[in-house]
Amino acid sequence: MPMRKHQKPRLVISAINILDGGPLTVLKECVANAISSLRDQWEIIVLVHHRSLIEESGVTIIEFPASKRSWLTRLYYEWWHFNKLSKTLAPDIWLSLHDITPRIIATKQAVYCHNPAPFYRISLREAWLEPRFLLFNLFYKFLYGMFIERNRYVIVQQEWLRQEFSRQFRPQEIIVAHPVSSIQEMPKSQSTGRESPFVFFYPTFPRVFKNIEIIGKAARHLLSEGHDNFEIRVTVDGTQTRYTKWIQEELTDVPQFKLIGFQSRESVFNLYKETDCLLFPSKLETWGLPLSEFKRFGKPILAANLPYAHETVGEYSQVKFFDPGNTIQLAKYMSALMCNSLEFDESHLIEPFQPFAKNWIQLFKILTKPD
C-alpha cells in the first residue's frame, strides 16, 4: 500500500496475536464499533493473524499468518516490521489491541492492555502446575514497560488495573474502557422445583489463577453433606495442561464435577440458557466477561469477592460474593442457593475516574479527539 496523502484520516487496529477467547471478543467488538461510528470519516485498516477472524465489511484487512509462530516472530513484527509498515500506511492513529507497544510512526499511538499476569503474586504450587504462567508473570512486566512512553493513551478495562499501571509504568494517560458485549438482553428465568439436577457452570480456560479446583472441592463437601442432585460444568478437559490433569486426578471421586472441554461462543450461550447459576472463582481477571454476559439471563451468580468482580458485576440483584480461597463458604452458598435460602449481596455500579469510556463509541471519541 503506497504512501499517499489520505483522503480520510487513517486508523490502524493491530491485533495479530489474537485468536480466541475474551481477546477475540474484544477485537470483534472493536472493529464492529469502529465501522459503525467512524467509517464515514475514517479509513480503517485491521492487522490480524488471519482474515477469517473478521467478518465485517468496510475495512481493509492485512493478515500475518506467521505471527503466532513464536514470541520472537511476534516481537519481530511489533518492534521492527511494523516500523516499516507504519511508514507506508502513515496512520493518524495506531491502536494496538494486544498489550505490546510497537515501534511505529504515527500521529497518535495507543495500546490496549488486557493481560493481568504481571500483577499476580504466583505461589510455588501454581508455578509448578503451570510453569508457563510463571514466565508470563515475569516476562509481561518487561513487555508492558518497553516503549510504553510512545503511547498517547494506555487503555485498560478496570480501575484497579489503571492504578497498577500508574504505579509501575507511569504512562502519559490511562483510559478505563469497559468491554461491552453486543448481545441482547435475554428473557429472565428462575429455577423451580424439579427432579433434574441443579446446574452450575464455569466457562473458563486452563490457567492456574482460574481457581477451578475450589469448585470441585466445594462439590465434594456438598456430597459429604448429602447433596447430590446437582451438576457442575467446566469448560476445560483433563489433558490440556499439568494443571487440568491434576484437577481431573484430584476429583475423580466427584461425578457431579464435569470437565466438558472447550466450547464455542455459540455453545457457551446455549449452556448459559441451561444453567441455574454461574460460578466465577477466578483470582485474577482484567474484566471477567462471563459475569457481564450471564447477567443478561437474570440468573444467580456466585463470584469471587475481588475488586475485578465487583466492578464487572456492577448493579445486580442476584449475586453473592465469596472468598476465593474458602471452599466451605462456597459450598455453603451453593447449598443455600439450591435450597432457595441464599441471601444475595447488595451490588452497586462502580464508575471509574475519568478518563473513562462506558463503551467502544465513547472510547473512539476520546482516541480521535484533537489534542
Predicted pLDDT of residue 313: 95
Query: Is 154 found in the same domain as 47?
Result: yes
Query: Is 243 found in the same domain as 132?
Result: no
Query: Is 289 found in the same domain as 219?
Result: yes
Domain with 208, as residue range(s), is 198-338
Q: Which helix (H) or strand (E) holds 93?
A: strand 93-96
Predicted pLDDT of residue 25: 83
In a domain, 189, yes or no: no
Query: Is 110 found in the same domain as 26?
Result: yes
Span 249-258, average pLDDT? 94
In a domain, 187, yes or no: no
Query: Is 37 found in the same domain as 122?
Result: yes
Query: Is 212 found in the same domain as 322?
Result: yes
In a domain, 118, yes or no: yes
Residue 338 is placed in which grid cell? 439450591
The DSSP-derived string for 178-239 is: -----PPPPPP----S-SSPEEEEE---S-GGG-THHHHHHHHHHHHTT--SEEEEES--TT
In a domain, 185, yes or no: no
| CATH number reported for the structural domain that contains residue 102 in this entry | 3.40.50.2000
Number of domains observed in the structure of the chain:
2
Query: Is 209 found in the same domain as 134?
Result: no
Query: Is 92 found in the same domain as 44?
Result: yes
Q: Rounded CA gap, 77 and 121, in Å?
A: 30
In a domain, 107, yes or no: yes
CA nearest neighbour of 257 among 212, 190, 193: 212
In a domain, 348, yes or no: no
Query: Is 318 found in the same domain as 361?
Result: no
Model confidence pLDDT, tens digit, residues 149-162: 999 999 999 998 99
The DSSP-derived string for 78-89 is: IIIIHHHHHHHH
Is the overall model pTM greater than 0.75, yes or no?
Answer: yes
Query: Is 97 found in the same domain as 61?
Result: yes
In a domain, 191, yes or no: no
Residue 291 is placed in which grid cell? 459475569
CA nearest neighbour of 46 among 107, 84, 97, 3: 97
Model confidence pLDDT, tens digit, residues 305-337: 999 999 999 999 999 999 999 999 999 999 999
In a domain, 171, yes or no: yes
Model confidence pLDDT, tens digit, residues 148-195: 999 999 999 999 899 988 888 877 799 999 887 655 455 555 444 446
Query: Is 25 found in the same domain as 65?
Result: yes
Span 352-360, average pLDDT? 92
Considering the chain, what percentage of its residues have pLDDT values greater than 70? 94
Query: Is 222 found in the same domain as 145?
Result: no
